[in-house]
Structures are given as C-alpha cells and as structure tokens.
Structure 1
Amino acid sequence: MAETQSAPAAGGRLTVAQGTALYVGAVLGTGVIALPALAAEAAGPASLLAWLLLVVVSAPLAATFAALGSRYPDAGGVSTYARMAFGPRAAAVVGWCFYFAVPPGAAAAALFGGAYVEAAVGGGGRTVAITALGLMVVVTLTNFFGVKLAGRVQLALAGVLVTFLLLAVFLSLPHASSGNLEPFAPHGWTAIGPAAALLVWSFVGWEAITHLTAEFRHPERDLPRATAAAVVVVGVLYLAVAFAIISVLGPAAAEADAPLGELFAVALGGDARWLAAAAALLLTFGAMNAYYAGAAKLGAALGRDGALPNWLTRGSVAGEVPRRSLALNAALSSLALFTVVVTSVGPRPLVLLTTGSFVTVYAVGVAAALRLLPRRSKTWYAALVTVGAVLFLLVMTGVYLVWPLTVTGAALLYLRVSAGRSGARAGDRTAVVDDAEGSLTGAGSAQAGRTDVRA
C-alpha cells in the first residue's frame, strides 16, 4: 500500500539565530581545521590572498542565494531555481551535482575530524576510521528527528565553535613571527589559483541552506538576516585562523595533518591537542549536520520532481522529515568512507571532487539568479559580480570537473530512461484500453449477429 503524504506544515520552524548557526556550520565547517595546511602547501603564505579573495567573493555569492531563497523558498534549492530559469534538465543536473557531492564530501569531512582525534589519542588509521564512522552515525540520528532539532543543536554548537577558534587565535598570536611570512610566494604568484580551488571547500555552504529556506518561519525576512550575520562571522574567523596558523607555525603549517591542534599546542602545550580534537569534532559535526539536512530535503524534492525515484518524495514539504532521502545519503556517505579507508587515497581528491561539483552548482545558480532576480536590483548586481569569480574557480578546478560532468551525464540518462518507462507505461495503458474497446466492439458485433440469426 502506498504511503499517504502528511499534511503540509503551517510554516517553517527555523529562527534567525538557528539559521545563522546552520550557515556558520555549513560554511565554516571542516575547512578551518584542515585546509589552511593544504593551501599553505600549495602557495605558502601567499595562500592568505586566496583566503581573502574567497571571503570577498563569498559576500555577493551569499547575498545572491539568500535573495533566491527568500523569493522562492523550496526544498529543491538551487535545483528549483535552475528549473524556473532553464527547465527540468538543468534542474536535474544541478540537483544531482549537489546530492551526489555530499557523500564524498561527508567522507572527507569525517576523516578530517578523525585525524584530530588520532593526533590527540593515537591509534593510527583505525582511530580515524572509527571516529569518522561515528560522526556519520550521530549526524544521521540528529537529522532523523527533523530540522528543528538539527537547528537547536547547531545553535548550541555555533557558540562553542566561535569560542574555541577565537581562543586558539588569541592565545597563539604572541608566538607569531613575521619571518614565517617570508618568502611570501615561494611557489610563485600563479600558485594562488590552485590554492583558491582547494579553498572553495571552505566556502561552499551558502547554497546548502537554500534547501532549508522553506523551513524558516519568515524566509523573506529571516534568510537575508541570517546570511549577513554568517558572512561576517565566517569571514573574520577564516582570515584570523589562517593568518595565525601561517604566522605561528611557519613552514610546518604545510606539513601538519591537524594544524589547529598544532596551534593549540603552541599556545597551551601538548595536552591542548585534546581541545583541538574537541573543536575539530564540533566543526565537523556542524558541517555534516547542515549538509545532511540540506541533502535530505533536496533528495525528497528531486523525487517529487521526477529527477530521482518517486519513493524519495516523502519529506519534501516544509515540516516533514525526509527520512528516506536521509537514509540514502547516509548509506552513500558510508560507502564513500569505506572506499577511501580501503584504498588509502586520502581526503585531498575527495575535497577537489566535491568542490568541482559545488562550483558547478554555483555557476548554474548564479546564471539562474541573473534571469530570476529583478534586473538591475542590488542582488542582481551581486550575482553579476560573482560570475567572473565562479568561472575562474571552474577553470582552476581542472581535471576534477570530470566528476560533475560524469554526474551530469548520469542525470540526463536517468531522465531519458525514466521518461521512456513512463511512455511505455502510458503505451501499455493505451493498449489495454484499445484491447478492451476492441473486445467490447467484437462482443457487440457477435451479439448483433446472433440476434440476426434468431430473427
């Protein structure tokens, strides 16, 4: 028996504070605990310019998605905007790019958090893997009970996270040295581009909350406020932490698996790695919590719109919990984690695969904004400003664009196959009707013949 959909909720439940916390968790996330080291390895101290570039770009990008979300609150998020601007194929492609970017991204994020725990307690790869799996389980259970609980948990985490990061920065800065900023660009100025491509991971998240816009009490009012507050908090914290890691740790920053832990160790001693591990777990949980919530809603919306199987539809209405989509996302994330652990490829390729998908989502989302937002409005100009930056990031992603291109092909193939099946089912129904009508006609003729004979 098919399940019946529950009645739509009267309205969303997220407040401005909870929305800000979800944004901070989604955007701040694991980037701050791992990517300063990867960016420093790519560009040295010049990676600070890449951080600054992305902080500047993130403001109009966030404003663009906030404007779209407040005008068109729907669980489909960017996929919905793509449908309105370019049609169902574009919507399916964007939805798939986001939905299937979350599992490898979740695996990488969970491994980042596990690396901090391993740095504090030891145990090697087994500790990392067990911690990563534990994070996935806890995040899934939190979202199983709905976005209201996820928002409350995120709000509590946000205050703790900000305190942890500011503590690390202020206590370590007395150990900073200007000599650690020289040479400023050891790999040349062109290395800033690849560093920026890596750091896109740190700034994805503005699009993630678009899938939760219908869950806000007053999207048109609360969403822009939450976005503005999150832009300020995230920008200040990213720049402060990145500068502290490079100026305090120097060349060692590029080699640190847990740079925030090293920062705490310099400030408070070796035992402070426990604090760093706690901060890393909270940051990782916050990011995964926001992305699991957004992806679960998106999967339900894609099922509703025919871009994924219809059995995922339940939960697409505001107030409903998309448990089927959540379960699928959790299963795919666990599979990605298992694959990474078995093959020992490390999180870096996962980061670039994920960012390639999200940059693709950004590109289509910004293009949709230029068609949907009021022309020559402030938010329209904000979208226009980000076009060049998004194209630059697409180029810098390079070979890792193969993943979103593969997902695009799979999405279009699914649409074609599902359309073919729908057509076949419609044809079967037509044939049944024709056969029935033919039978009735034949029966009628036979009956008329018998009447003539009797006559």
Structure 2
Amino acid sequence: MTTESTPSTTHVRPGIGLTQGVALYVCAILGAGVLVFPGQSSSLAGPSALVAWAFSALLGLPLAFTFAALASRFPDAGGVATFGEKAFGPTAGGIVGWWYFIAGSVGQTIVPLTAGYYVTSAIGLEPRWAPVLAAIVLAIAVAANLAGFKVGARVQVALAIGVTAILLAVILVALPQIDFEHFTPFAPHGISGIGQATVVLFFAFAGWEAIAHLSAEFRDVRRTLPRATLLTIVIVTVLYLGVAFAVVGTGAYGNRTLDRISLGVIIERGIGFSAVGVVAIAAVVICLGTTNAFVASVSRLGYALARDGWAPKLLVRRNRHGALQYSVLAVGAIGGAGLVGAALFGWGTDDIVFIPAVLVLATYLLGTIAAARLFTGRLRLLALVATALLLITVPFAGWHLLVPPVIAVLASAAHRLRRARNDNGT
C-alpha cells in the first residue's frame, strides 16, 4: 500500500519554511528533557546513562527519517493518527491518535513544572510553589497559540536560538569541572538501570512525530521537512550528548532535588558565584519554547481526532485568529490538571514521566510498523530497523505497559458510544 493522500484542509495557509521548521523541531525535542533527564537518567543508571543517551540518539536517526517520510507522503493535521489509519484502518488511527494526544498533553504538566523547579530554587521559594509558576508558563504558551500560529512561529525561532546558546554555555562551563573518577563504577545498576533510563528518555526525545501534525502547513513539505529533520538531528545529538556528559562528568546528580536542577548546579560551580537566577531564566526560555511547540502540535491532533469522529466536534472550531480555540484549551486543561495534582499531592516530573514516555513508545511502534506497511524498498527497511530498536526497550517499561491498552479500550468505547448517539440522532 503506497497510495498518497492530499494534504488535509485545516484552513491554514502553508507558511512554514526551513528556518521555522528547524526551530519547531529543536524546541519540540530540546525542552524539559535536557533540564531534568540528564540527572534523572544518571540516578537510574549511573555513568552508564551515557549508553542510554547514545542509544536514544542512534534510535532517533531511523525514527526521525521514518516520520519525516510519513509526514511528507501524508501531510495532515492528524500526524500519527493519519499514518495509523492509512496502514491499518480508522480504529488504529483513532487509538494511536489518542495515545499521542494524552502523552503530549500530559507533557504540558512536565515541561512547565521543570521551569517551576528552577525558578523556585532561584528565588528561594519552597518546591511546593513550582506548580504555580509552571501554570504561568503554560498559560503563556496557550495564549500564544490562541493568538494564531504565525505569532507562535516567529517566537519559536528566537526561542530555538536561545535554547541552543544556553545549552552550549552549560557544556563549555562544565568542561573544566570534568573529573573522570565520576565515571566509575560505570554501571552500578546494571542493564536494568540502562533500560529504565532509556524508557525515560523516550519522552526526552519525543518530538520527531510532533511536527508531523504541522506537516500540511509546510511550504514544499517534501523538500523542507527532510532538510529540517537532518539539521535538527545534528543539533539535538550534539547538545543532548554534550549536556549528558557534562552532568555525569561533574557528578551533578544523585538525589531528587539535585537531579531537577543539575544544569544550574553546573553553571554555579563553574562561574564561581550564584548563577541560579540566570539558569532559571534559561529554564523558562527552554520550557516555554517546548510548551509552545507541543501545544501547537497536539492541538492540531485534537482537531484531526474531532474531524474524524474520535473526539467531540467542538475541537474543530476556530477563533477569529484562525486558532483551534477549544483544542488548544483542551491541551492546556489536561496539562493544568496535572499541575493541580502536583500542587495537591506533591507529584514530581519523575513520578509522572513514565506515563507519557510509554505512550510515546507505543506511538513510535505503531508509527514505524505503519511505515513498514505503507512503504517499500529503503524506506521500509528504515522503518523495520526503527521498529527492532524500539522493541529492545519494551521489557524495561514494566507495569506502565498497561497504560496504552487501557487508553485503547477507553477510546474505542467512547468512539462507539459517540457513533451510537449520532445514529440515534441524539
């Protein structure tokens, strides 16, 4: 099956060029992951967390180009839902769409909360105030998207430049602090620790599929999207591995509090005076960029799910700026609900992250299997390689593997109920 689809009509004029495409990719992938996951993964695996980072970066190559090929061939706001439907029918498309919609929306708890950790540390507030500050970051991203994508895209380019500069600064400041004694013992928690770290990093590297939901809005998608993918792979690999090496080499990890602000500790130690305020600003910039990109992407998916009968029709409505008003608000509401849980029950990013990480893993698996069905030749081989690499990590997800089938059952039941009501004219 290799039939191509025409771009879906979302009433948005294609306007994303190479620069904006790279900016969206960079900010979608480099976010909360680069702020908290180097510390968290190192606590799970010790210095061998670098193996998990390297494996995740390697896995990113076939994943990135597989999803770029799918998005170029089937440009649609549905993204992964469209790919699943093309390969396996509407039920598969609806289920994988809900997997990613929930993963992306829950991510808008994790990303702003990371910014909250850094800001509370900088101004001396107790960590319990982090959800309040996170809510401000989320509200800004939602407001930017409600104002229309054109505004968000311009901001995204500036944020991408800022993110890259900030992370390069962290790497450079860390170099004189590297102590190779921090690399022994290399794997204190064995293969299990590396596997668990790899599962966590699925959320850190989530984003290759996110831009697929904006593919119909690219100018000359078949040329621009692959080029943006290649440039982003280079940028992301260098920055992620550099920051992970910096955290391990400086020993800036080891407990829950330290893991959350590893980059700030590196900067403070390297400069010789308190730099937490500067790092807090950097954290807000990074998290705002990521939140902005994902609210834009996931709201398009919400539109597609509603368009295809898998979500309430309300999500297709637009405001006077052309923004998907209710879909954007739905993403913000789910992220905000997570922040309420963090405020009331003390949830941290390390408590929440496995849920969206496993949903992203399931999304990747269905997406690569769909590509193997839809493509032939080298593209099919690329998709099969990505699928095989993904399967290596599945056993390390533990009981969290129950999350995708539970959501699949609930989404299917809700869809059947919605169809029954429509058939009855209610």
Q: TM-score range by the shorter chain?
A: over 0.9
Aligned-residue offset at 1:9? 4.5
Taking structure 1 as reference, are residues 93 and 292 closer, same or farther at Cα in structure 2, changes over 3 Å only?
same
Aligned-residue offset at 1:403? 2.3
Residues 397-425 of structure 1: CA deviation (Å, up to 9, x unaligned): 22112222221111100121112122222
- The counterpart of 1:247, out of the listed 249, 254, 257, is 249
Counterpart of 2:304? 301
Q: Distance in 2 between matches of 1:146 and 1:399?
A: 40
Counterpart of 1:337? 339
Counterpart of 1:168? 170
Counterpart of 2:377? 376
Please state whether the residue corresponding to 1:152 is helix, strand or coil.
Answer: helix
Q: Distance in 2 between matches of 1:251 and 1:94?
A: 35
Structure 2 counterparts to residues 362-441 of structure 1, below 5 A: 362-373=364-375, 375-377=376-378, 379-425=379-425
Counterpart of 1:151? 153
Counterpart of 2:326? 324
Matched residue pairs, number? 416
Q: Structure 2: which amino acid aligns with 1:327?
A: L
Please state whether the residue corresponding to 1:74 is helix, strand or coil.
Answer: coil
Q: Distance in 1 between matches of 2:259 and 2:211?
A: 31
Retained in 2: the 8 A contact 1:299–1:312? yes
Taking structure 1 as reference, are residues 250 and 262 closer, same or farther at Cα in structure 2, changes over 3 Å only?
closer
- Give percent identity, aligned residues only: 35
Please state whether the residue corresponding to 1:184 is helix, strand or coil.
Answer: coil
Q: Distance in 1 between matches of 2:404 and 2:417?
A: 20
Q: Structure 2: which amino acid aligns with 1:109?
A: V
Please state whether the residue corresponding to 1:143 is helix, strand or coil.
Answer: helix
Please state whether the residue corresponding to 2:347 is helix, strand or coil.
Answer: coil
Aligned-residue offset at 1:345? 2.5
Counterpart of 2:276? 273
Residues 84-142 of structure 1: CA deviation (Å, up to 9, x unaligned): 11111111101111111223211111111110111111111343122100011000011
Residues 167-217 of structure 1: CA deviation (Å, up to 9, x unaligned): 111122111111111111112233211111111111111011100001111
Q: Distance in 2 between matches of 1:422 and 1:380?
A: 39
Could you list the runs of 5+ residues in structure 1 that have no partner in the other structure?
Answer: 1-6, 429-455
Q: Distance in 2 between matches of 1:227 and 1:177?
A: 34
Aligned-residue offset at 1:286? 1.4
Tell me which moved more, 226-235 or 381-390. 381-390
Structure 2 counterparts to residues 438-453 of structure 1, below 5 A: none
Higher Rg of the two aligned structures:
1
Counterpart of 1:438? none
Counterpart of 2:206? 204
Q: Structure 1: which amino acid aligns with 2:247?
A: I
Retained in 1: the 8 A contact 2:21–2:228? yes
The CA RMSD measured in Å over matched residues stands at: 1.8
Aligned-residue offset at 1:220? 1.0
Q: Distance in 2 between matches of 1:249 and 1:185?
A: 14
Taking structure 1 as reference, are residues 9 and 420 closer, same or farther at Cα in structure 2, changes over 3 Å only?
closer
Please state whether the residue corresponding to 1:213 is helix, strand or coil.
Answer: helix
Retained in 1: the 8 A contact 2:303–2:316? yes
Counterpart of 1:444? none
Q: Distance in 2 between matches of 1:299 and 1:35?
A: 28
Aligned-residue offset at 1:250? 5.5
Residues 228-257 of structure 1: CA deviation (Å, up to 9, x unaligned): 111110011000000011101256577432
Retained in 2: the 8 A contact 1:165–1:241? yes
Aligned-residue offset at 1:320? 4.1
Q: Distance in 1 between matches of 2:63 and 2:103?
A: 19
Residues 52-76 of structure 1: CA deviation (Å, up to 9, x unaligned): 0000110110000000111111000
Retained in 2: the 8 A contact 1:40–1:253? no
Please state whether the residue corresponding to 1:101 is helix, strand or coil.
Answer: helix
Retained in 2: the 8 A contact 1:307–1:415? yes
Q: Distance in 2 between matches of 1:387 and 1:418?
A: 33
Counterpart of 2:5? none
Counterpart of 2:192? 190
Please state whether the residue corresponding to 1:201 is helix, strand or coil.
Answer: helix
Retained in 1: the 8 A contact 2:54–2:241? yes
Taking structure 1 as reference, are residues 338 and 10 closer, same or farther at Cα in structure 2, changes over 3 Å only?
closer
Q: Distance in 1 between matches of 2:12 and 2:78?
A: 19
- The counterpart of 1:52, out of the listed 46, 51, 54, is 54
Aligned-residue offset at 1:269? 2.6
Taking structure 1 as reference, are residues 336 and 229 closer, same or farther at Cα in structure 2, changes over 3 Å only?
same
Aligned-residue offset at 1:275? 1.8
Q: Distance in 1 between matches of 2:160 and 2:299?
A: 22
- The counterpart of 2:116, out of the listed 100, 114, 132, is 114
- Structure 1 position 287 matched with structure 2 position 290: yes
Please state whether the residue corresponding to 1:256 is helix, strand or coil.
Answer: helix
Q: Distance in 2 between matches of 1:127 and 1:244?
A: 28
Structure 2 counterparts to residues 75-90 of structure 1, below 5 A: 75-90=77-92
